[in-house]
């Protein structure tokens, strides 16, 4: 079958059962977009307001569904506008295929109109990338890209296609996608035996779970493992949802804004079992004081993570779901009642708390949790609201908390919210945003309205860049350098001007009523919730301090 390069792109998307792509057209991808138009019955295209929003939408789609997210952009500025979204996906191990156009092969390297070396630009932030200069290679590269994006530790792959390659024709043969198998080649008998021996020898084990648990669909196995080890469980920000937030063994987040029980427990344990976590600096604080009395047992699919930030005493390398299944089969039931009682006392003594007198973000998030029964998909931007969402929404399932944990991308949440809703049309999807982040991406409200994507954006509005101001208060003698927004914006009118619905919340009594109206609404909703500019996220560990040095107020 003789097909053009553009037709081959579409056929390869169909081979991989891609039903949705996000993007923004331009001259270099006109031929691809022409084929999308012809194949509208099988592939839905979501036109965003900005390419960065498209990249974040593909990311949110991928995180919430487990499928590969696909984004398309034209050459030059279209391609470079994807960079932040690609880097966000790379840092958080999200499977994505980004397809960019470029100038014809004969014009490459000549500073042509809208030409950029996007493969050079994205080399450090992709698992792999390609520039396709021969249409004969296009189908194989497309197939390989989808495989690489999903295989092992997932991540984004970029395919740059010059315009003449989308025009040129070649004989195309359909193929069945290569099966992506769970990584098990490094799971050895010796590594399993050693892990079991260390667990059995422990008197005070603690489980620290990261985003790898969510990515590998290992939440069920982790819960069984925790019960078997009889150990408390803490999660990184990326790991939230990987363990049930209401379970008695769960002690909340660990690290800079982790619970006191988690931070003290990790510091005092004798065995730290690290499952799919990268030892972020925001988790470990002062590295030489992090769990320095414990044996560290690390389970991860990526051998590059072992001994990168913290030295591990033993590691099992392989897909987390497979490793935990083997351990659950081989490990005898353990008993650590005294240790759990000790941690329980700390939990009871230092619960997460906030002033209940007036309207606060914490109260509002607890209400969101209550009214959605902990079953909504929650996306966030980056800042105080992100930490409050991780602390006060009790996630019961994985893939329900979508946040930029590694890159810390303000502007991520709204695009991700749209992508998650497209991938999960029957699930309530709410983006919890700060007013600073909302300023970066509210153009995507037009996307939600245009495509009738029913999402809720809950703006926690304190009129400042809240987390930066918090640091300025605590560590910079209250020198508030350019963190006061002075934003005189009518959110209700803004929403209405774009065809959405807007609500204001200024008192605690309004929260439940407005949320119920928003949940019943059939159009996209913006909620503006006013809080005090000096509300802070606690607990908090000062940067560079040991994580058991916790400020609780």
How far apart (Å, rounded) are the C-alpha atoms in residues 284 and 274? 12
Q: 169-183, pLDDT tens digit by residue?
A: 999 999 999 999 988
Phi then psi dihedrals of residue 274, to 5 deg: -100, 115
- Specify the pLDDT at position 185: 83
> In CATH terms, are 2-171 and 189-349 the same topology?
yes
- Specify the pLDDT at position 355: 86
- Specify the pLDDT at position 486: 76
Catalytic residues: 51, 113-114, 163, 467
Instruction: Please state the CATH superfamily assignment of the domain spanning residues 361-530 in this structure.
Output: Thiamin diphosphate (ThDP)-binding fold, Pyr/PP domains (3.40.50.970)
Torsion of CA 212, 218, 223, 227, to 10 degrees: -90
Q: Are strands 377-380 and 429-434 parallel, antiparallel or unpaired?
A: parallel
- Specify the pLDDT at position 500: 98
Distance of CA 448 to the CA centre of its chain: 20
Cβ-in-10-Å burial (0-12, 13-18, 19+) of 328 comes to: middle
How far apart (Å, rounded) are the C-alpha atoms in residues 258 and 142? 41
CB count within 10 Å of CB 171 equals: 8
Class of domain 189-349: alpha beta
- Specify the pLDDT at position 487: 74
How far apart (Å, rounded) are the C-alpha atoms in residues 252 and 493? 38
Residue from 399, 510, 535 nearest 460 by CA: 535
Instruction: Please state the CATH superfamily assignment of the domain spanning residues 2-171 in this structure.
Output: Thiamin diphosphate (ThDP)-binding fold, Pyr/PP domains (3.40.50.970)
Residue ranges of the chain whose pLDDT lies below 70 = none
Q: What is the DSSP string of 72-134?
A: EE-STHHHHTTHHHHHHHHHTT--EEEEEEES-GGGTTTT-TT---HHHHHGGGSSEEEE---
Cα Rg of the chain (Å, integer): 24
Domain ranges of the chain: 2-171, 189-349, 361-530
Residues making up the chain, counted from first to last? 553
- Specify the pLDDT at position 183: 84
Q: What is the DSSP string of 502-533?
A: EEEE-SGGGHHHHHHHHHH-SS-EEEEEE--T
Helix, strand or coil for residue 298?
A: strand
- Specify the pLDDT at position 233: 98
Measured CA to CA in angstroms, residue 378 lies from 116, 247, 394, 427 at distances of 35, 19, 11, 10
Are 364 and 430 within 8 A, CB to CB?
no
Q: 38-96, pLDDT tens digit by residue?
A: 999 999 999 999 999 999 999 999 999 999 999 999 999 999 999 999 999 999 999 99
Angle at 544 between CA 542 and CA 547, to 5 degrees: 65
């Amino acid at each position: 079958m003789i097909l053009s390069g553009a037709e081959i792109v579409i056929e390869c998307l169909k081979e991989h059962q891609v039903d949705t792509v996000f993007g923004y057209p331009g001259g270099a991808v006109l031929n691809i977009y022409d084929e999308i138009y012809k194949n509208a019955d099988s592939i839905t295209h979501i036109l965003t307001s900005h390419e960065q929003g498209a990249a974040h939408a593909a990311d949110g789609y991928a995180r919430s569904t487990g499928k590969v997210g696909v984004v398309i952009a034209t050459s030059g500025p279209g391609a470079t506008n994807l960079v932040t979204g690609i880097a966000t996906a790379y840092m958080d191990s999200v499977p994505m295929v980004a397809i960019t156009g470029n100038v014809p092969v004969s014009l490459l390297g000549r500073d042509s109109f809208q030409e950029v070396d996007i493969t050079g630009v994205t080399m450090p932030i992709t698992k792999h990338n390609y520039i396709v200069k021969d249409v004969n290679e296009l189908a194989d590269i497309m197939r390989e890209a989808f495989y690489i994006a999903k295989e092992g530790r997932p991540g984004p792959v970029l395919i740059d296609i010059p315009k003449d390659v989308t025009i040129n024709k070649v004989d195309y043969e359909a193929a069945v996608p290569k099966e992506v198998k769970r990584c098990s080649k490094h799971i050895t008998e010796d590594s399993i035996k050693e892990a079991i021996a260390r667990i059995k020898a422990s008197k005070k084990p603690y489980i620290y779970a990261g985003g790898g648990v969510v990515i590998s669909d290992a939440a069920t196995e982790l819960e069984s493992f925790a019960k078997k080890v009889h150990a408390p469980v803490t999660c990184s920000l990326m790991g939230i949802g990987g363990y049930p937030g209401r379970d008695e063994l769960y002690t909340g987040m660990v690290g800079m804004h982790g619970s006191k029980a988690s931070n003290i427990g990790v510091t005092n344990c004798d065995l730290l079992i690290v499952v799919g976590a990268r030892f972020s600096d925001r988790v470990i604080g002062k590295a030489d004081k992090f769990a320095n009395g414990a044996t560290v047992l690390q389970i991860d699919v990526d051998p590059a993570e072992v001994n990168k930030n913290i030295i591990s005493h033993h590691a099992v390398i392989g897909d987390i779901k497979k490793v935990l299944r083997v351990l659950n089969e081989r490990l005898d039931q353990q008993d650590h009642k005294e240790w759990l009682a000790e941690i329980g006392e700390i939990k009871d003594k230092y619960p997460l708390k906030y002033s209940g007198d007036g309207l606060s973000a914490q109260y509002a998030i607890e209400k969101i949790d209550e009214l959605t029964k902990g079953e909504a998909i929650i996306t966030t931007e980056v800042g105080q609201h992100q930490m409050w969402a991780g602390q006060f929404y009790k996630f019961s399932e994985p893939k329900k908390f979508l946040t930029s944990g590694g890159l810390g991308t303000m502007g991520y949440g709204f695009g991700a919210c749209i992508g998650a809703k497209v991938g999960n049309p029957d699930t309530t999807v709410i983006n919890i945003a700060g007013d600073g982040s909302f300023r970066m991406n509210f153009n995507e409200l037009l996307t939600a309205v245009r495509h009738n994507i029913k999402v809720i954006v809950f703006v926690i509005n304190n009129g400042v860049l809240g987390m930066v101001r918090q640091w300025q208060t605590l560590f910079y003698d209250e020198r508030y350098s350019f963190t006061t927004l002075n934003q005189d914006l009518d959110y209700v009118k803004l929403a209405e001007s774009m065809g959405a619905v807007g609500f204001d919340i200024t008192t605690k009594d309004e929260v439940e009523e407005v949320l119920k109206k928003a949940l019943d609404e059939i159009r996209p909703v913006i909620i503006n919730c006013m809080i005090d500019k000096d509300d802070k996220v606690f607990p908090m560990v000062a940067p560079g301090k040991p994580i058991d040095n916790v400020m609780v107020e």
